[in-house]
Amino acid sequence: MQVTPLIWIITLAVTILFFVYEFFAHVRKPHEPSIAESARWSAFYIGLALLFGVGIGVVSGWTFGGEYFAGYLTEKALSIDNLFVFLIVMAGFAVPKMYQQKVLMVGIIIALVLRGGFIAIGAALIQNFSWVFYIFGALLLFLAYRQAFSSHDSNPAEGRFMKLVRRVLPVTGVYHQDRLTVREGGKRFATPMLLTIIAIGFVDLIFAVDSIPAIYGLTNEAYIVFTTNAFALMGLRQLFFLVGGLLERLVYLAQGLAVILAFIGVKLVFHALHVNELPFINGGQPLLWVPEIPIWFSLLFIGATIVAATVASLFKTRYGENRDDHGLVHGEPVITVAPQDRDEDSQADEKTTSTADRSK
C-alpha cells in the first residue's frame, strides 16, 4: 500500500479539523445532547468510516480494504468497551450531564494522541524486529484472559493512580461549571472536572495497550492502523449518549472481546512463526508449514463474534436476571455541584420531586 507524505498530511489535517468542528459546533456550549442529535451524528461518522473503507478497497485493493474493515470492527468494539469505563468514571465523579460532552471530547483527543504515539512505535518495531509479533501475540492472549475473567467492577475514580493525583493536587469538592481549576481563599484548586479528565486520560492509556497490538494483528499498514483508530474514536462521544442505557445490557461484550483478542493473539503467533528469525526456534528459519489466517476469515470471525455477544447479551438481560455486571455507581454521589453551577433541568427535576412529596 503506497501512502505518500502528502496523503498523511491531508489525513492528519482533516482529522484535526473534524475535532475542531466538533468542539466549536457541539461541545463549546455545555448541554446534554438529545437522542436525535446523537443518532444523526453517530450514523454520519459510521457511514463516513464505511465509505472510507470502500475507498481504500477501490484504490488500493480489497486485501487492504478487508484489513481496514476488520480493524475498524475490532477498534469500534474495543471503543464501546471503553464506554463502560467512561460510565463508571462519570458516575464516580458525579459529572453533571451538561458537562459530560467536554470530558468525553478531551478524553477522546487524549486517546487519539496516545494511540498515535503507540502506532508510530509499533510500526518502527515491526519494521525492524519481526520477533515483536511474538510479544504482541503473547500480550493479547494475556489481555484476553484478563478481559474474560476480570470482574469489571473496579472504579478508576477510586484507584491507586487517582489517589496519588489527589495527594499531589489540592482539590475542591464541588464543580464550578466546566472549569478545570478555581481560586479559593487565594489558593488555586483543581476541580472534579480536571480529576475526571485525568482519570479518563489514564484509562485511555490502558486501553491503548490492547488496542494497538490488536490492530497490528490484522494489518501491518500504519495508515490503516491510524485511520481505523481515528474513525472508531470520532463518533464515540455521540455513541456515549445514544447507547448509554443499552451499555448496561451488553453483559457478554467483555467475553466477546476476549474471544476476539485471543483470536488475534493466535493469528499474531502464527504470523511470527511464519516469519521466524529467532535462532532458538527452528534454527532461526521460518516455519512455512504454519498457516497464515486470511483476512477474509478474520473479518467474518470478528463480525460473527460481535453479533453473537450482542444477541446473547440482549437475550440474557431480557429473559434472565437483570444485574448490574459493570460496577455502575448508584445512590448519592460523593462529589456535589456548586448551587450556582447546576443546570436548569436538575433544578426542575428537584421542584417536581418536591411537589410530588408534598402531594403525598
pLDDT by residue (tens digit) across 300-331? 998 899 889 888 888 887 776 544 444 444 43
3-state secondary structure the chain: CCCCHHHHHHHHHHHHHHHHHHHHHHHCCCCCCCHHHHHHHHHHHHHHHHHHHHHHHHHHCHHHHHHHHHHHHHHHHHHHHHHHHHHHHHHHCCCCHHHHHHHHHHHHHHHHHHHHHHHHHHHHHHHHCCCHHHHHHHHHHHHHHHHHHCCCCCCHHHCHHHHHHHHHCCECCEECCCCCEEEECCEEEECHHHHHHHHHHHHHHHHHHHHHHHHHCCCCCHHHHHHHHHHHHHCHHHHHHHCHHHHCCCCCHHHHHHHHHHHHHHHHHHHHHHCCCCCCCHHHCCCCCCCCCCHHHHHHHHHHHHHHHHHHHHHHHHHCCCCCCCCCCCCCCCCEECHHHCCHHHHHHHHHHHHHHHHC
pLDDT of residue 358: 43
Q: Is the pLDDT of residue 296 over 60?
A: yes
Q: Is the pLDDT of residue 137 over 80?
A: yes
Alpha-carbon distance of 36 to 345, in angstroms, equals 18
What is the rounded average pLDDT of the residues 44-53? 92
Give residue-wise pLDDT tens across range 96-134: 877 888 888 888 888 888 888 888 888 888 877 878 888
pLDDT of residue 57: 92
| pTM of structure | 0.74
pLDDT of residue 157: 65
| Buried/exposed 45-75: b ≥16 CB within 10 Å, e otherwise | bbeebeebbeebbeebeeebbbbbbbbbbbb
Least confident of 55-59, 149-153, 338-342: 338-342
Q: What is the dihedral of CA 305, 139, 11, 46, to 10 degrees?
A: 20
Strand partners, 183: 188
pLDDT of residue 56: 93
Nearest alpha carbon to residue 238 among 65, 49, 59: 49
Strand partners, 174: 336
Alpha-carbon distance of 157 to 93, in angstroms, equals 7
Q: What is the dihedral of CA 266, 267, 272, 274, to 10 degrees?
A: 120
What is the rounded average pLDDT of the residues 189-206? 82
Q: Is the pLDDT of residue 341 over 70?
A: no
What is the rounded average pLDDT of the residues 260-281? 86
Express as a percent the part of the chain with pLDDT over 90. 11
Angle at 331 between CA 342 and CA 34, to 5 degrees: 50
Give residue-wise pLDDT tens across range 204-250: 777 777 788 888 888 888 899 999 988 888 877 777 777 666 666 77
Kindly report the average pLDDT of the chain as a whole number: 78
Greatest mean pLDDT among 26-35, 127-136, 229-238, 292-301 lies in 292-301
> Is residue 183 very low, low, confident or very high in pLDDT (cuts 50, 70, 90)?
confident
Q: Is the pLDDT of residue 68 over 90?
A: yes
